[in-house]
A and B are shown apart, each in its own frame.
Chain A
Amino acid sequence: MHRTETFTDRINDALDNEQLHSNFRSAMNYLMEKRRDKFPDQEKLDNLRNIASSIRSNSLSNLAELLIKLEEKLESNNIKVHWAETDLEANNIIYQILKDANAKTIVKGKSMVTEEIELNEFLEDKDIEILETDLGEFLIQLANEKPSHIVMPAIHKSRKEISKVFAEHYPEFPYTEDVDLITQQARKILRDKFRQADAGISGINFAVAETGTLCLVENEGNGRMCTTVPPLHIAVTGIEKVVEKLSDVVPLLDILTKSATGQEITTYFNMISSPRREGEKDGPKSMHVILLDNGRSKIHQNNEMQETLKCIRCGSCMNHCPVYTQLGGHAYGTVYPGPIGITLEPQKQGITQLGELTSACTMCGACGEVCPVQIPLPKLINKLRSEAVEGNNANELIEGAGSMRKLLESLAWKNWKLIYSNPFVYSMFSKTTTTLNFISPKTIGKWGKYRTTPKPSKYSLKELANQAGFDNE
């Protein structure tokens, strides 16, 4: 990840990269169309969103209780539960489990939470081989990059770029730009790895408290391989992924796959309820679940921002975000990009660190309209902007509140307030003053890089209305 560059640098890099822009533009167009085709009836969609949203709200309202129930159920299903407060704790727990099992080679299914804790880097440092088995993740692991989308990690790469990366690492296969052929070749490579692996690691989409069932959504079968072939399976999940009942999974899965990839259902849907039982012929001999907090319980304490945790990671908000479409995922510099990223990451890592992400939003509202669990993303982003400049860090739940208040900018808004809250001052100044001029004296110039300067009209509407004889109160 390009941690050393500033957000502005990364934005400029992204905007200068035409290939990147065209890759994202066509991919997002495709995904939006696929989703739209799955929801032809707005009323039915709204009903489903209401149901999904209330299931997730219910999870969050009873989070502690459900997590305890989940732990009990998992343990009674012979799945060992570990609680991790931080990324480091989670990594250490996973490492210890692997070490105890003498596991040296690991296959991993696609999981954003393991990206979040940077598990690969941690384990590689300890000389453990960890291989991504989702095709997209596999390719970006080869390219030594990070996912640029939470569902489609290699979406920033064109077919040509993918072919090149693959050929560089596997010269034994004949060069091809045929994606189906590359998939077949990757499959050959991965099959052997699945057979040889000492352990499989996966994420979780829904963890059912009622039954202790771990649900995993995927399309390639690699998730099933990771969770059934190796003798040891470790599942990692954020604590917010718990749902109360098994029946909750049905509407959530329905809206997740349709929202994410426009699929009626994914090719594979795994419901994992225990390690291999006596007499069974497959499945891991032992299973562990890591329940990760990593900032989530703090977000959970904030009643207003809590809705962030309803997210089921479909990626629909980024698919529909016009800013994400321009930039792609890497420019954000965070694990989760796009609207959910700029909402979640400043809360997790603090406004001082990442508050500037919230500026990458036009408030167009597209994300909020498509979110399957009705997270009011624009409202939350707006609230974070306010926390950034007006919040008081001493008694706020969001770290770094108030840290983005800048003297010049706040003076500009104070001036704006003085003028616009007083009709007399406003009419005196209205000829020479525009809102835009006040906002950021330093950066107003860039408006002109792409546009002409708007010219104030000779007469104001107030004057025209007066001349035309309209009543004025």
Chain B
Amino acid sequence: MPVNEVYFMGTCLVDLFYPKAGLAGMQLLEREGIKVIYPSKQTCCGQPAFNSGYRKESLPVARSLIKCFPKDIPIVIPSGSCAGMIKYHWPELFEGESDIETALSVAERVYELTEFLVDKLNVELTDLGEPTKIAIHTSCASRNEMKIADRIENLVSQLSKVEVLEQERKSECCGFGGTFAVKQADISGAMVNDKTDTLKATNASSVISQDCGCLMNIGCALEKQNSKLKTQHIAEFIWDRTHA
């Protein structure tokens, strides 16, 4: 069945810190002829509390999200981490709850944005931007949990003027891990410093990722180091380069 309508779940991080990435994601979908609905009552998937052990606090937050997606249409999320939370951890979070069926029906409809663009829409991109060199940071959730990390590479490879430079230890975690970054701040700091070292060594001008958690961690570290290396979400990167 052809898709012609989707929900867009922005995620709390995108909503507050990277709204342009979210908007770009919605515009990319719209350009493919998809009607995009942005339910205004959405907040968060519940992941921050869930990963910290606070499932009782996570549950009502996740539950409030269910109500945002009543129609049986795909839910597209510009984050592997939040998509993974819903798809793979909601079943555990809602276990034994009366609304588990509804939660599972939401989980089944969840797609990460690059996954949806490549697998469902077969998007074809025409690069209108200036030549540039980038490094791609595939988030751990996209790689290990959602297993869709190659979709971002697929999209970027369609951009003729973008050269992708590969950093050392590309698949290593950047050290964000949500509350890990504050609970184990020094380990997290050592990890993000290692990560930014490898990224800077590529001489790329920007780092692109499909997850804003990683981008916030890497981006704020680069800024602290006064690096010229910029970070950008894949949706915004593609939209900027492909719309007239």
Binding site for B on A (CB under 8 A): 11-12, 15, 21, 29, 322-323, 326-327, 359-366, 368-369, 379, 382, 384-390, 404, 410, 413-414, 416-417, 419-423, 426, 430, 434-436, 439-440, 443-444, 446-447, 449-457, 459-466, 468, 470-473
Write the chain A residue with the least CB distance to B175.
Answer: A362
Nearest-Cβ distance from residue B91 to partner chain A, whole angstroms: 11
B186 in contact with A446 (CB, 8 Å): yes
Nearest-Cβ distance from residue A294 to partner chain B, whole angstroms: 26
Contact of A369 among B144, B178, B183 (CB under 8 A): B144
- Quick one: which of B52, B89, B178 has the most chain A CB within 10 A? B52
B182 in contact with A464 (CB, 8 Å): no
Question: For A435, what are the chain B residues with a Cβ–Cβ distance below 8 Å?
Answer: 12-13, 44, 48
- Number of residue pairs A-B, CB distance < 8 angstroms: 226
Task: Say yes or no: A430-B16 contact (C-beta < 8 A), given A447-B181, A473-B39.
Answer: yes
Question: For A439, what are the chain B residues with a Cβ–Cβ distance below 8 Å?
Answer: 48, 52, 179, 182-183
Q: Does B14 contact A (CB under 8 A)?
A: yes
Question: Measured between alpha carbons, how far is A389 from B224 in the docked complex, in Å?
Answer: 34
Top 5 A-B residue pairs of the complex, sorted by shortest distance between their CB atoms: A362-B177, A446-B185, A385-B53, A365-B144, A451-B220
Write the chain A residue with the least CB distance to B49.
Answer: A413
Binding site for A on B (CB under 8 A): 8, 10, 12-20, 22-23, 26-27, 35-44, 46, 48-58, 60-61, 63-64, 68, 89, 92, 140-141, 143-145, 169, 171-173, 175-194, 216-217, 220-221, 223-224
Question: Measured between alpha carbons, how far is A439 from B57 in the docked complex, in Å?
Answer: 13
B14 in contact with A461 (CB, 8 Å): yes
Question: Measured between alpha carbons, how far is A449 from B144 in the docked complex, in Å?
Answer: 29
- Quick one: which of B48, B56, B63, B182 has the most chain A CB within 10 A? B182
B177 in contact with A386 (CB, 8 Å): no
B38 in contact with A359 (CB, 8 Å): no
Question: For B61, what are the chain A residues with a Cβ–Cβ distance below 8 Å?
Answer: 416-417, 420-421
Question: Measured between alpha carbons, how far is A326 from B177 in the docked complex, in Å?
Answer: 15
Knowing that A413-B57, A423-B41 touch, tell me 9 more A-B residue pairs with CB under 8 angstroms: A326-B187, A326-B194, A359-B184, A366-B144, A379-B92, A416-B57, A450-B189, A451-B224, A452-B220
Contact of B53 among A386, A417, A422, A426 (CB under 8 A): A386
Task: Say yes or no: A452-B53 contact (C-beta < 8 A), given A366-B140, A457-B16.
Answer: no
Nearest-Cβ distance from residue A190 to partner chain B, whole angstroms: 37
Contact of A423 among B14, B42, B173 (CB under 8 A): B42
Question: Measured between alpha carbons, how far is A460 from B23 in the docked complex, in Å?
Answer: 10
- Quick one: which of B37, B40, B58, B68 has the most chain A CB within 10 A? B40
B57 in contact with A417 (CB, 8 Å): yes
A322 in contact with B49 (CB, 8 Å): no
B216 in contact with A472 (CB, 8 Å): no
Contact of B37 among A361, A449, A464, A473 (CB under 8 A): A473
Nearest-Cβ distance from residue A351 to partner chain B, whole angstroms: 11
Contact of A416 among B48, B182, B184 (CB under 8 A): B48
Contact of A363 among B40, B46, B169, B178 (CB under 8 A): B178
